[in-house]
Structure 1
Amino acid sequence: MIRLILALFALMMPLKAMAAVDIQVVTSPGGITAWLVEERSIPFVAMDIRFNGGANEDAPEKRGATYLMMGLLEEGAGERNNQEYAEAAEALATVIEFDANSDTVSVSLQFLTENRDASVNLLRDALLDPTFDPVAVERVREQVLAGLAADARDPEEIAGKTLAGLAFPGHPYGTPIEGSPETVAALSIDDLRQAHARALTRDRVVVGVTGDISAEELGPLLDHLLGDLPTFDGVPVGRADYRLGGGITVVDFPSPQSVVLFGHEGIAFDDPDYFPAALLNQVLGGGGFASRLMTEVREKRGLTYGIGTYLASNDLAEQFLGQFSSSNDKTAEAIALVREEWARMAAEGMTEAELDTAKTYMTGAYPLRFDGNSRIASILAGMQTLGLSPDYIATRNDRVDAVTLDDIKRVAARLLRSDDLHFVVVGQPNDLESGSF
C-alpha cells in the first residue's frame, strides 16, 4: 500500500502553465549544481541524477562493464546484502532505479519527505560502497548473458546492432552497451569496480529535483549524497564518424516477413535547424497515421502494418532513422517507396496545411510531458545534459511556431538524402540482396 501511495504521489504534481514552471538553479556549498522545481503541496520528492560518459567509457575488451555494474548497485551496498537493501527500500517506501545507456548512467530516487535522510543514505551507500558480492555478480551476469542470447534471436535487435556496427565501426556506438557474450563472461569484479569509479563522478553529474524540498535543504543534501564521489581522470570518448553510405544490407533470418531499419546521418539537437527538422520528421514519418510514409506505404498500398521515423540525436553522433516490417514479397516495393517519399519531401518540402498540423501537434503535446514529479525531474536533468538554459520550457513552443515553409524547404534539401539511405533488412526478402542502389 505504501508503494502505491508513493506511485500516486509521483503523478500528482498539477499541470501548471509550463511557462510558469519556476526552475531554481541550486549550487551546493561543495559546488554541485542541481535544478529544482519546488512543489510543497505533497510530501514527496523525486530526483533524477545523470552522470555523463556512460557506457561509452568501456574499453572494447571490457564492453558491458558499465551496464553490468549499474545492474549490481542495488544488489548489496554498505553493510546490507541484496535482500537487506531491498527490504530497507521497501520499509521506507523509497524507489531507487539505476540505468545505463551509451552517453550517461542515471539514477532515479523517489522518497517521502518524512524518510528523506534515510532514503538519501540508502542511495549514498549504493553510489559509494557497492559490495559487488560474487554470488550477485554471477547471478546478474547470467541475466545479461540470457538477454544477449535472446537478442541474437530477435530480428529487430539484429537490425539495430547491424546498422550500428556498419555506421560506427571502431566506436562504442557500433557495439551494444550490454557487451558481447565473450566480453561479459570475462568481466572481473575488479573490472566492475573500475567501471564504477569511472562512471559515477561528481564533476560530470547533472541533477533534477522536484517536490517537497527547498533550495536551502537541497544544497547540503547534494554534498552528502554526491560530494565524496571521485572526479573523472580519463579521456572522454570523441565524436563518432558516420561511415555508412546508401545501399542495402540483407541479414538472412528465417521468417515470412522482413524487419527493415533504415536511415542516414541526422542533425544535432543544438543545430539552429533542429526544429524545422523535427517538423519534417513529424510530417514524413513521425506523425503516426497522419504521416506521409504511413499514408503511402500502409494506407494506399498495404505494404506494412506500420512505419515510423525519428531523429536520434545522441551526444557524439546524429542519425535520422526509420523502421517497418513487411512480408518478404513486398519488402523491395516498400523500400523503393520510402526512397521516393524521402526524395519528394527533399525536393518539395511540405504544404502549409501539413506544417500547421505538425506545429499544432508538437506544441500541444509538449505540456503533456510534465505529468508528474518524476517526469519533471527527468526533464530537468535532460535539459542540463543537452546544455539548455532554464528558460527553454517557456520558449520551446515559440521556436516551433517560428518555423516557416521556407525553413522547411531549406532544411529538407539539406537533411533528406534519399541516395544516402541505408536499409538493413533482416529476413528473407524476395528480389533483394546486399549492395549499393
Structure 2
Amino acid sequence: MNDSRTLRRSLPGVLLAACLALTGCDQDAPVPPPQAAPAATETRPAATGGDAPRLESLASLDEQPLARRKLDIQTWQTAEGAKVLFVEAHELPMFDLRLTFAAGSSQDAGTPGLALLTNAMLNEGVAGKDVTAIAQGFEGLGADFSNGSYRDMAVASLRSLSAADKRAAALELFSEVVGRPTFPEDSLQRIKNQLLAGFEFQKQNPGKLASLELFEQLYGAHPYAHSSEGTAESVPGIGVQQLREFHARAYAAGNLVIALVGDLDRTQAEAVAAQVSAALPQGPALPATPVPEAPPAGKHHIEYPSNQTHLLLAQLGIPRGHPDYAALYLGNQILGGGGFGTRLMEEVREKRGLTYGIYSGFSPMRAAGPFMISMQTRAELTDGSLQLVQQLVRDYLAEGPTEAELERSKREIAGSFPLSTASNADIVGQLGSIGFYDLPLTYLEDFMGEIQTLTVEQVKAAMNKHLQPDGFVIVTAGPSVEQQPLPPPTERPVEQPSAVPEH
C-alpha cells in the first residue's frame, strides 16, 4: 500500500474503537444530575468554608452519549461528471480536499502493481518541476499533499489554508500533480527498486506471507486476489507508457468522487471542484468490480522457521452498502472485533494465554470483502488453537450473543461514534467513502440508529446468513513441530502470552 500520510479508516466498522480515560474524578463529591451539556467544572464548599473548583466526575454523564457533529452534506456533479460531496465548516481557516478514484489494484487488468505505481508517481514530476520542487511548493504554501492506492481505490488529498491567495496557488499545483503528471523515468526506477526491496523483505515476514496466500486462496482469479503492491515478477516490466495509459482512463473525471470540507462557502466549493475536475483526463467511470465466487474451504500451510505460527481464517463477507452491515458489525464486535472483552479474546488469551491478541472483522469493499480472524500462537499449540477458534465461532453462531453483550456493545459504539466526525480530516474521509460506495448522505446517522434498534435475534440471523462455521479458508505460516494439547481454561493461565508478538 502506498500512503505518504497514513489514511484514516473510513466508515463505521473500523473507526469505532476509542475508549474514555477516567482521570481526576472526585470520589467524595456528590454526582450531579445528568445534563445535556455538562459543565466542565462546578463548585462546592471547601474545607475552609469557601468555594473551590473541582473536576466533574464522568459519572455525571450517566451513560449519556457524547454530542455528535451533525453534518449538512451538500452534493452535486461537475460538468465533467465527477461526484462532489461538501460540508461547510468555518471553525478553522483551512479546507481538506480528497479525490477518490476507482483506480485501485482491482483495475490492474493483469499487470499487478500498475495502479500503485501510477498513484505513487503522481507527485514525482510535472512540467517544470521535479519531486523536490513539488514538495517545496506545497510546503511553502503551508499545504499538505498525500496519496495512496488500495484494492478498490486510489486517493489524492490536499490540506490547505483557505485564504484566497494560498488556496489558489495550492489548488493550481495540486491540479497539475493529479491531472498532468509527467512520470519521469528515473523516479519510476527508484520506486520500482523500493518495491522490489520490499518484496525481499516480505520473505522474512510470515504474517505478510500468510496474508498474501490467504487472498490468493480466497479470491482465486478475482482482481482482489493479488496484492496492491504487485509482485516481484510484474513490477520490473511496468513502463512509463503503461502509467500514462492507466492515468488517462482511471484518473478521468467521470471515475472520481470529490470530497471537500472546510472554510469555504458553496460558491467557493463549486469553483474548487470545477477547477480540479477540469484539470483531469476526460472519460467515464471504469467498469464495476466483478462479483467473486466463494472458494472451497480448506487449510494451507506455509513452512517458516520461527517460534510462533500465524493463523488466518477467512470467508467471503459482504460488499459495502449491504443492508446487513450494521447487524454484522455489531455481532462481530461481540465475537472478536472489540478488543478486550470479546468472546475470542476472553477464551483464547485471557483464559488460556495462547496469544497476545486475536481479532476478527468484516472488511466490506465494492465487491464482497473478507471476513477474517487473525492471531499468532506458539508453534506447538497451532492445531489446538485452530480447533478452539473454530469451535468458538461455531458456538457463537449457534447461540448468538447474549442480551448483556448486545447492550454493552451498543453503548460502546454510541460512545465512540462522535470520534468519526471529530475533525475535518475525519469528515472528508467519511464523505469520500459515502460518495465512492454510493451510500445515502444520511448513512452515518442511519447506521447509528440501526445499531441501537437491533435485537439479539436479528444479529444472530445476520451472522448465520453470511458465515458458515465450516466454510473457512485457513492459512498458517510457521514451523512443522510436534503438537501439544491446549492448557485448560483458568482465570489466570499459567502460560502468559508474550508481550510482543513476532512481526
Equivalent of 2:224, from 170, 173, 181? 173
Q: Distance in 2 between matches of 1:104 and 1:416?
A: 26
Equivalent of 1:48, from 88, 98, 106? 98
Deviations 1:279-338 (A, max 9, x none): 111011111111001111111111111100010111122321010000101111110111
- Residues 176 and 279, structure 2, Cα contact 8 Å, conserved in 1: no
Identity of aligned residues (%): 29
- Residues 308 and 379, structure 2, Cα contact 8 Å, conserved in 1: yes
Using the size of structure 1 for normalisation, the TM-score is 0.91
| Aligned: 1:105 with 2:130 | no
Q: Distance in 1 between matches of 2:159 and 2:301?
A: 45
Q: Which runs of 5+ in 2 are unaligned?
A: 1-65, 484-503
Q: Which runs of 5+ in 1 are unaligned?
A: 1-15, 433-437
Equivalent of 1:135, from 175, 186, 198? 186
1:374 CA drift (Å): 1.3
Q: Distance in 1 between matches of 2:444 and 2:186?
A: 46
1:42 CA drift (Å): 1.7
Instruction: Assess, with a 3 A threshold, how the Cα gap between structure 1 residues 275 and 137 changes in structure 2: closer, same or farther.
Output: same
State how 1:340-351 maps to structure 2 within 5 Å. Answer: 340-351=391-402
Equivalent position SS for 2:418: helix
Equivalent position SS for 1:303: coil
Equivalent position SS for 1:87: helix
State how 1:26-425 maps to structure 2 within 5 Å. Answer: 26-28=76-78, 32-60=82-110, 62-114=111-163, 115-232=166-283, 236=287, 238-425=289-476
Q: Distance in 1 between matches of 2:194 and 2:95?
A: 32
Q: Distance in 1 between matches of 2:452 and 2:353?
A: 34
Deviations 1:234-287 (A, max 9, x none): 862542424432232110011110011111121233222221111111011111
Instruction: Assess, with a 3 A threshold, how the Cα gap between structure 1 residues 27 and 69 changes in structure 2: closer, same or farther.
Output: closer
Deviations 1:170-194 (A, max 9, x none): 2221111111112110111101111
- Residues 332 and 429, structure 1, Cα contact 8 Å, conserved in 2: no
RMSD, aligned CA: 1.9
Q: Distance in 2 between matches of 1:279 and 1:240?
A: 25
Equivalent position SS for 2:397: helix
- Residues 332 and 431, structure 1, Cα contact 8 Å, conserved in 2: no
Give the match for residue 7 of structure 1: none
Task: For 2:120, give the aligned amino acid.
Answer: G
Task: For 2:354, give the aligned amino acid.
Answer: L
Q: Distance in 2 between matches of 1:317 and 1:152?
A: 28
Give the match for residue 11 of structure 1: none
Q: Which moved more, 1:226-235 or 1:276-285?
A: 226-235
Equivalent position SS for 1:419: coil
- Residues 19 and 393, structure 1, Cα contact 8 Å, conserved in 2: no
Equivalent position SS for 1:396: helix
Q: Distance in 2 between matches of 1:42 and 1:367?
A: 19
Give the match for residue 5 of structure 1: none
Instruction: Assess, with a 3 A threshold, how the Cα gap between structure 1 residues 36 and 85 changes in structure 2: closer, same or farther.
Output: same
Q: Which is helix-richer, 1 or 2?
A: 1
Give the match for residue 494 of structure 2: none
Q: Distance in 2 between matches of 1:328 and 1:166?
A: 22
Q: Distance in 2 between matches of 1:232 and 1:160?
A: 35
Equivalent position SS for 1:178: coil
Task: For 1:112, give the aligned amino acid.
Answer: L
Equivalent position SS for 2:440: coil
Q: Distance in 2 between matches of 1:110 and 1:325?
A: 39
